[in-house]
Amino acid sequence: MSGIRVLPELLVSQIAAGEVVERPASVLKELIENSIDAGASAVTVTLDEGGMRRVQVEDDGEGIAREELPLALARHATSKIRSLGDLEGVATMGFRGEALASIASVSRVSIASRTRQAPHGASITAEGAQLGEVTPAARAQGTTVSVADLYFNTPARRKFLRTEATEWAHCEEAFRRIALAHDGVGFTLTHNARAAHRLQPAGRRARVEALLGDAFVQHAAQVDADAGDVRLAGFAVRPAYAAEGPVTQHLFVNGRYVRDRVLAHALREAYRDILHHERQPAYALWLSLDPRRVDVNVHPQKTEVRFRDAGAIHQFVRHAVERALATTASEQPAVSAAERLGIAAAQLPPRGPRTDAARHGTPHTFTGGEQRAMPLDAEEPAAFYRRLFGAMDRPRVDMAPVSVADEGSDAHPLGFAIAQLHGIYVLAQNRAGLVLVDMHAAHERIVYERLKVAFAERVPVQPLLVPATFAAEALEVAAVAEHGETLDALGFDVSPIGPATLAVRGIPAPLKDADAAALARAVLHDIREFGGSRALDARRDELLATMACHGAVRANRSLGVVEMNALLRDMEATERAGQCNHGRPTWFQLTLADLDRLFMRGR
Ligand SMILES: Nc1ncnc2c1ncn2[C@@H]1O[C@H](COP(=O)(O)OP(=O)(O)O)[C@@H](O)[C@H]1O
Ligand SMILES: [Mg+2]
C-alpha cells in the first residue's frame, strides 16, 4: 500500500456509477423517473442499439432552470429532499441526487430544458463529467436528457454489456415497470427508429392490457382490498393459467417497482394451496401506504424496501390475494374446455362450407394431456364415497336424474350428473352445456377444505378396532416421539411397538375410510421433510393437503348418480373448488357452442 489518499471526484462518481448504472436499462430507469418526478404527463423515450449507443428521454415536466443545469449534474445535488425528515416520508422516485452525476461520469450527456417561467430554454453537455457551457436552446417547457455512448471512458465496464438484443430486452422491461406504475402518464418507446410502445393515459386496466396482454387480465382475479391507510389493488392470475404465458410478477409499492422478500413470500403463501408447486404465480399488484411506513432508502437502485411493520403487511397482502383467488365454483367464470384443450377456434375447421382438410381430418378427441398421478384402485366400492361424504355431517342434497327441462338452474351452476366416464370423470349437464369433472381432483379439494375447518378446532380421532402396524425406519419412529403433539392435533394416534414398528390406533375422523398405514406414513414423511415443530406449524396446510389426497375418492371407483350429484353440490359450496390442492383444474365447461363448433353445426 502507498498511503491514504482522497479519491478524485470523477473516480468517486464512476465508482458510484457501478451501483446505479449497471446497464443502459438502469440509465433509462433513472431518466424516466426524473421525468415522473418533474410531473410530466407525456414521456418520449428513444433508444439506439439497445440503449448502448443512446438513451434519450424527453418530457413535458416542470423543467430545470438555466442556472441550475450544472447542479443537476453535480453529485448529491437534488431538488427533492432537504432534510432527514424529508427522507423519512419521501414520495418522489429519486432523492439521492446522484443518478445524473453517476451517468455523466461514464457517458456523454446532454440536457436541454425550459421551465414555465423561462423566456427560452437552455442546454448543457457533459462528457465523462466534464461540464460544458450552458447555451441557449429553442424548446417548449420540459426536459430532454440524452445519454450517449455509455461506458465510453470505462472499457472494463463496457465489456459487461451484452448483446444489443439483451440490453434492449432489459430496457423494455424497465420501461414496462415504470409505465405500469404510472398509468396516468402517456409514454412512447422507440428503438432503432421503430415504435415499440405507444401508451395513452387510460387507467390501470388498459395499461396492464397494453403491457402484459389481454389474456393476463382475462385470466386474473381482481384484487382490491384496504385496511386503514394500506391498500392493495391489481390482478392475480388464476392458478389454472399460471403456467401459460411468461411469468409475470410485478409488485409496486407507492408507485415504485420493488422486489421484496416479504411481499413475494406473502404471494407464494396466498397461492400455496391452489397452485401446483412447479408453477409460478403471476400477478401485477400495487400496494400503497403512508410513505413513512416504508423505507425505500435501502439500496441505490431502490428496488428493495423495508416495511416498518413487515408482519402486518405480509398478513394483509396474503389475505387480500387469497380472498381474491378463493372464488367458489359458482362464482368462477366458466373455463371453456375447447380453449383449455387447445382446440382453439383457429384450429377448428372453419364454419360454413367444409374444406377438404376438415372432411378428411382426424376427429378431435377429449382425452386431455394430463397423466393421472393417482394409482388406480379398482376394488373400492362406491359406498366408500358415500360414507366419506356422510362423515363430515354436511347437509346433503340427493338428486334424482334430471330431465332436460330443469337442467342447470342458477342454484346449481354445475348442473346435474348424467354419467361417469371410465371411472375418472363425472359428466354433468348444465344450462350452458356439458360439465366435465375430475372426480378425484374435485373431491380432494373438498376434503382439504373440510380438514382445514376441522383443524381449526381439533381434528377428531376415529379409533381403529384393529390397529394398523407397519415397519418403520428409525427416523420415522423418532418423529413420532418428537412430534407427538402435531400428530395429536392432526387426529392421529400413533405409537411405536418396537424399535422398527409403528402402530396406528386412530386416524382423523374425516378420513376414517382411508388406508390408515399409508395415511400415517405419508404424514410422517412430510413431518420429517419439514423438520422442527415451528416449520411444521407453518406447513400445516401442506400436511392437510397430503391427508386430503389420501382421503379423496380414487379414480376407477364407480359412483351412482346420487353420489355424483352430491359431489357437484359440494363443489359449488366449497371455496377454491376450481382447482385441486395441487393446482390442477377440477372441472371444465364444454358449452353447446363449443360442441357446435366441433361438429361444424351452424346454429
Ligand atoms: N427530467 C427532469 N425534469 C426536471 N428536473 C430534473 C429532471 N431530471 C433531473 N432533474 C433535476 O436534477 C436533479 C438531479 O437528478 P438526479 O441526479 O436524478 O437526482 P435525484 O433524482 O435523486 O434528485 C433532480 O433533483 C432534479 O431537480
Ligand atoms: Mg433521479
Say if residue 332's pLDDT is above 70.
no
Flag whether pLDDT at 351 surpasses 50. no
pLDDT tens, residue by residue, 200-253:
998 999 999 999 988 889 889 999 999 888 999 999 988 877 655 456 889 999
Cα(288) to centroid of ligand 1, in Å?
Answer: 24
Whether residue 379 is predicted with pLDDT greater than 50 in this model: the reply is no
pLDDT recorded at residue 230 = 92
* Ordered alpha helix ranges (H), 46-150: 69-72, 84-88, 99-105
Residue 422 has pLDDT above 80, yes or no: yes
The string of pLDDT tens digits covering residues 16-41 is 777 678 889 999 999 999 999 999 99
Q: Which protein residue has the closest C-alpha to ligand 1 atom 24?
A: 78
Ligand 1 binding pocket (C-beta < 6 A) is 30, 34-35, 38, 59, 61-64, 72, 77-80, 94-101, 143
Please give the mean pLDDT across all residues of the chain.
80
> Residues 245, 251, 256, 259: is their CA dihedral positive or negative?
negative
Q: How far is the C-alpha of 218 from the C-alpha of 241, rounded, in Å?
A: 10
pLDDT digits (tens, 9 = 90+) for 55-96: 999 999 999 999 999 999 987 778 777 666 776 666 677 767
Mutate to test the pocket of ligand 1, among 78, 87, 102, 111 (most ligand atoms within 8 A of CB): 78
CA 71–ligand 1 middle distance (angstroms): 9
The mean per-residue pLDDT over the stretch 393-408 comes to 40
Residue nearest atom 25 in ligand 1 by C-alpha distance: 78
Coil, helix or strand at residue 230: strand
**Cα–Cα distance, 31 to 39 (Å, whole number):** 13
Percentage with pLDDT > 70 across the chain:
78
Q: Please, are residues 594 and 336 in contact by the beta-carbon 8 Å criterion? A: yes
What crossing angle do the helices spanning 439-457 and 561-573 adopt, rounded to 10°? 60
| Degrees to nearest 5, angle at CA 457 with 456 and 461 | 115
Atom of ligand 1 nearest to the CA of 35: 1
- For residue 103, the ligand 1 atom closest to its alpha carbon is 17
Q: Is the pLDDT of residue 274 over 70?
A: yes
Q: How confident is the model at residue 172 (pLDDT cuts 50, 70, 90)?
A: very high
- Which 3-state string (H, E, C) describes 133-151? CCEEECCCCEEEEEEECCC
| Position with higher pLDDT, 39 vs 332 | 39
The answer to which of 250-259, 397-406, 590-599 has the lowest mean pLDDT is 397-406
Label residues 29-63 b or e (16+ Cβ within 10 Å = b): bbbbbbbbbbebebbbbbbbebbbebbbbbbbbbb
Contact assessment for residue 407 and residue 430, using Cβ atoms and an 8 Å cutoff: yes
Mutual angle of helices 382-391 and 561-573, in 10-degree steps: 40
Rounded distance from Cα 100 to ligand 1 centre (Å): 7
Ligand that comes closest to the CA of residue 69: 1
Ligand 1 atom nearest to 59, measured from its CA: 1
DSSP 8-state symbol, 328? B
d(CA 519, CA 28): 56
Specify the higher pLDDT residue, 147 or 364.
147
Do 468 and 516 form a contact (C-beta atoms < 8 A)? Answer: yes
CA distance linking residue 17 with residue 406, whole number of Å: 71
Mutational test site, ligand 1, from 31, 34, 56, max ligand atoms within 8 Å of CB: 34
Q: What is the CA radius of gyration of the chain?
A: 31
The pLDDT, as a whole number, for residue 247 is 65
Which residue has the least CA distance to atom 9 on ligand 1? 34
How many distinct helices (H) and strands (E) make up the chain?
Answer: 22, 23
What does 484-523 look like in DSSP terms, one character per residue?
HHHHHHTT-EEEEEETTEEEEEEEEGGGTTS-HHHHHHHH
Q: Is the pLDDT of residue 299 over 70?
A: no
d(CA 100, ligand 2 centre) in Å? 7
Expressed in angstroms and rounded, the spacing between residue 80 Cα and the centre of ligand 1 is: 8
Task: Please tell me the distance between residue 41's alpha carbon and the centre of ligand 2 in angstroms.
Answer: 17
Residue 78 Cα to ligand 1 midpoint, Å, equals 6
Task: Indicate which atom in ligand 1 lies nearest the CA of residue 92.
Answer: 21
Phi, psi of 197 (to 5 degrees): -145, 145
Among 67, 79, 115, 178, say which to mutate for ligand 1: greatest number of ligand atoms within 8 Å of CB. 79
Angle at Cα 77 formed by Cα 71 and Cα 82, nearest 5°? 130
61 alpha carbon – ligand 1 mean position (Å): 11
Backbone conformation region of residue 192, classed left if phi is above 0, alpha if psi is from -120 to 50, else beta: left
When mean pLDDT is compared across 185-194, 195-204, 227-236, 532-541, the lowest value belongs to 532-541
**Residue 96 Cα, ligand 1 centroid: separation in angstroms?**
10
> Counting ligands in written order, which one lies closest to the CA of residue 147?
1
Q: Reduced to 3 states, what is the DSSP secondary structure of residue 250?
A: strand
Percentage of the chain beyond pLDDT 90 is 35
Q: Whose CA is nearest to atom 18 of ligand 1?
A: 99
How far does residue 592's CA lie from ligand 1's centre (Å)?
60
Burial of 532 (0-12, 13-18, 19+ CB in 10 A): exposed
The residue whose CB lies within 8 Å of the most ligand 1 atoms, and thus the one to mutate among 73, 100, 145, is: 100
